[in-house]
Chain A
Amino acid sequence: MGDPTRRMIFEKLRDRPLAVVHIAEGLQVSRPAVSQHLKVLREAKLISINQQGTKNIYQINQEGILAMRNYLDKFWDTALAAFKLAAEQTEKENE
């Protein structure tokens, strides 16, 4: 997500799901450019489309985010347990 516009779009969608017309509001880029950014974000699985009638509503990809979160959650459990051991061992050595 090196592109500042793409980042702005993503941050907008973090607040709430939006249609393209509302995503483009306030952005200094053309509608096709917005669509291109949305495509990149979709390919990165950062966002997904929810079809409501004829409208495409873009939203944060919650399922994907949860998966990533769960992975890191487990990782930090392991890491923090190792940290606790190391800190307590260091404390003993200092005595």
Chain B
Amino acid sequence: MNNVEIATIKKEVIVEASQATAFKVFSEKMDLWWPRTHHIGKAPMTEMVVEPGLNGRWYTRHEDGSEADIGYVLNWDPNSFLGLAWQINGEFQFDPELMTEVEVNFIADGPKRTTVKFEHRNLDRLGTGGKTFESMDEGWGMIIDLYKNIAGQAATL
């Protein structure tokens, strides 16, 4: 793999839903499906929020009333394209200077069938999580535990 391939994750999902539903559920209704275990807040997660529209905030809400930023909306083109800035680095910390892009294309195959093309780009900017890297041989579970311990967070994102 070259750098560009390493730095990009590509996925494709076919959804038995209209393009409008697919876009809405992915964006405004992200809370419906985002894994509750995956956040960087200091208390259990209660809600995932994507504020509709350009520059809308992308963040989680938590039981203690706090919020944890993930990034913001880069492109908001209902119902065909969503661009999000992912600004959580390899140490599982929010970094406002970091820019990696989550790009989602919604292609209508029929009235109730949509192909969702997903990309997460420029992942090499995330880094690898300092101390955690040395424990790579222990497997992912170990690393996830380390991430928790390092930040003193319940997060496993």
Interface of chain A residues 65 through 80 with chain B (CB within 8 A): 65-80
- What CA separation (Å) do A86 and B118 show in the bound complex? 16
Size bin of chain A's contact surface:
35 or more
In the assembled complex, A29 has its CB within 8 A of some CB on chain B: no
Q: Which residue of B16, B118, B130 is within 8 Å of A76 (Cβ)?
A: B118
- What CA separation (Å) do A66 and B140 show in the bound complex? 13
B131 closest partner in A (C-beta): A45
- The reply to whether A84 and B118 contact each other, CB–CB distance below 8 Å, is no
- The reply to whether B33 and A82 contact each other, CB–CB distance below 8 Å, is yes
- The reply to whether A87 and B126 contact each other, CB–CB distance below 8 Å, is no
- The reply to whether B6 and A69 contact each other, CB–CB distance below 8 Å, is yes
Question: In the assembled complex, which residues on chain B have CB atoms less than 8 Å from the CB atom of A82?
Answer: 33-35
The binding surface of chain A is classed by DSSP as: helix
Size bin of chain B's contact surface:
35 or more
In the assembled complex, A1 has its CB within 8 A of some CB on chain B: yes
In the assembled complex, A25 has its CB within 8 A of some CB on chain B: no
Question: In the assembled complex, which residues on chain B have CB atoms less than 8 Å from the CB atom of A55?
Answer: none
In the assembled complex, B60 has its CB within 8 A of some CB on chain A: no
- The reply to whether B13 and A83 contact each other, CB–CB distance below 8 Å, is yes
Question: In the assembled complex, which residues on chain A have CB atoms less than 8 Å from the CB atom of B120?
Answer: 72, 76
- What CA separation (Å) do A65 and B112 show in the bound complex? 38
In the assembled complex, B95 has its CB within 8 A of some CB on chain A: yes
- The reply to whether B13 and A10 contact each other, CB–CB distance below 8 Å, is no
B30 closest partner in A (C-beta): A83
Contacts known (A90-B17, A90-B29, A91-B16); A76 close to B124, Cβ less than 8 A: no
Which A residues lie at the B interface, using CB under 8 A? 1-2, 7, 10, 14, 43-46, 60-62, 64-88, 90-91, 94
Which B residues lie at the A interface, using CB under 8 A? 1, 3, 6-7, 9, 11, 13, 15-18, 21-22, 24-26, 29, 32-35, 38, 89-90, 95, 97-98, 112, 114, 116, 118, 120, 123-130, 133, 136, 140, 143, 157
